[in-house]
Structure 1
């Protein structure tokens, strides 16, 4: 799996290796479903502080296109962990949906 990392903040760039490890850990069972993940870290308010650390994940899937999740939190770690939790749930739902049997189409006589 390819992990692309971008950070608009110098402090966010320091977490590059840690974020890549976390992304690989969370998606390890779904690697066949997700060949590429783009991670974007940004500081919404700049140096003013507050709940402004944003993590956006764009997961390119084989079957459903790109799934985008994001999270905003007080720290980089919280933002990344929350976004990865959302991504994990979205991927599990996507996998269940693709594994489910296709529904039979209604015929004109059924309506």
Structure 2
């Protein structure tokens, strides 16, 4: 599993990158066999004006060609990263579960059923 982090206009950039990497490794570590690349985009949409403008978008490219995309906005970037990491964990788990069920059904079908 490879994690790529891009950030624009964020103070304490190094700490945010480390936080995002740590949270995603924790959230997706057990699914590393099914995850290819994780791309994280962090941005301060409104710049120094403040408000609910911290954006975290995560795109998970699965090894079986499917993709999971989660995006959140909030006031505190670390909290936004935490929420997105939790949602990514749930969605990747669900996606891998579906793929596993489909594979089991395909193997359980008799060859003449096609």
TM-score by length of 2: 0.82
Structure 1 or 2: more helix by fraction: 2
TM superposition shift of 1:65 = 2.4
Give RMSD over aligned pairs.
1.7
TM superposition shift of 1:12 = 5.8
Query: Does the Cα contact within 8 Å between 1:57 and 1:69 map onto a contact in 2?
Result: yes
- Measure, in 2, the Cα distance between the counterparts of 1:55 and 1:78: 10
TM superposition shift of 1:64 = 4.0
TM superposition shift of 1:99 = 1.4
Query: Does the Cα contact within 8 Å between 1:12 and 1:76 map onto a contact in 2?
Result: no
Aligned to 1:107: none
1:11 maps to 2:17: no
TM-score by length of 1: 0.85
Aligned to 1:40: 41
- Measure, in 1, the Cα distance between the counterparts of 2:52 and 2:10: 17
Which range is displaced more, 76-85 or 58-67?
A: 58-67
Structure 2: tracts of 5 or more residues without a match: 110-114
- Measure, in 2, the Cα distance between the counterparts of 1:10 and 1:53: 9
Decide whether aligned partners of structure 1 residues 98 and 69 sit closer, same or farther in structure 2, where only a CA change above 3 A counts: same
